[in-house]
Amino acid sequence: MAQQSWTEPHHLEAWIVAHPEVLDPSLKVVTTQFARWESDGGSARDRLDVLAVADSGELVVIELKRAGDRQVHLQALTYAALVSGFTREILANAHLDWLRLCGDSTVTLEEARRSLENHVEAEWTDELLGLPRIILVAENFPAQVITTIQWLSDVAGDITIEAHEYHLFDRGDEVAVSFQRILPVEDLEDRRLRPGLVDRTTEVKEQLSTNRRRARSVAIIAEAEAIPAGAVIGLRLESLVKPDVVEQVTSWLDENPMRKDIRWVNDPVRPLIWAAAEDSQRRWSPTSLRNEIFERAIGQPGTFSAADAWCFNGRSLYLIAQDHIDSREQ
């Protein structure tokens, strides 16, 4: 990267912000170069390269380095500790400031908040923000950094640290970049907490793990083609919200048959088409359509797992995806 006279903030960061899926398809950027840390001596000068949120609801600290840096993991751990006390309100304000900095001067706080809420495909609480995931990105990592990451993963199972390396390829008239996760090698969902961790940490970790599985439901179903295109999808709310809310939403849907006309398309992210939408061909994610219906029906978005509410033939999207996973493992 140095040979190309490119820099970390102007090129590497720009690539990742434009395409966060190169690190993880579940990520949405919240802000970049965040530096509003409050301390006894005033605001700290440390700048977090990229702060993102996964569709499971967990925060993700992304630290970028142009060349191998022996301190990259220490900086990232500091940032993770700082953001672990964030609330969804703080995130919404940070996202608002970033969107305005990027040129969207008319965006409101409510729109910034809703943008984040629509991305999370499960129940989202402030408690889930307390265990940020760390992603380190570098052209190469010194052996000391790799050793430290592996050791932390072994002795502190509630800390998730990933190491991603990028490589540049000269194509003559353009330069391409590829990203590869080198640590951890195994699936993050299969990692188990070690004995001795406090109950709260265990509960949050388990909830994030469950949320990740729920968030992947649509992609699993789409890949397996487990729901036929054009199939009618229903909304089952019992056991997810209070009875009076079920009645309000159901009554609102019953007022117009088009409101209940929701169809499946084989899309790994936005598989729902709603006949009652202003654009009847718009594709919705399960969470965004859940929120749209709830805001129209009761004036506020839903806070439950959308994958548990949307159903086909009486089975939730989450259970349909789990059925497919179980069948593959047999």
Give the pLDDT confidence of 222-254 residue by residue, as tens digits: 999 999 999 999 999 999 999 999 999 999 999
pLDDT at 194: 40
pLDDT tier for residue 155 given thresholds of 50, 70 and 90: confident
pLDDT tier for residue 259 given thresholds of 50, 70 and 90: very high
pLDDT at 188: 41
Mean pLDDT computed over 39-64: 81
Mean pLDDT computed over 118-137: 90
pLDDT at 7: 57
pLDDT at 328: 75
pLDDT tier for residue 1 given thresholds of 50, 70 and 90: low
Asked whether the beta carbons of 307 and 318 are under 8 A apart, the reply is yes
Give the pLDDT confidence of 196-217 residue by residue, as tens digits: 444 556 677 777 777 777 778 9
pLDDT at 62: 96
pLDDT at 81: 92
Domain ranges of the chain: 2-210, 219-329
Mean model confidence pLDDT for the chain: 86
The answer, yes or no, to whether residue 164 has pLDDT greater than 80, is yes
pLDDT at 133: 95
**Above pLDDT 90, what percent of the chain?**
55
Topology, domain 2-210? Trna Endonuclease; Chain: A, domain 1 (3.40.1350)
Least confident of 25-34, 57-66, 186-195: 186-195
pLDDT at 2: 54
pLDDT tier for residue 27 given thresholds of 50, 70 and 90: very high
Q: Which residue has the tokens 């499946």?
A: 264
pLDDT at 269: 86
**Above pLDDT 70, what percent of the chain?**
87
The answer, yes or no, to whether residue 147 has pLDDT greater than 60, is yes
Higher-pLDDT residue of 14 and 121 is 14
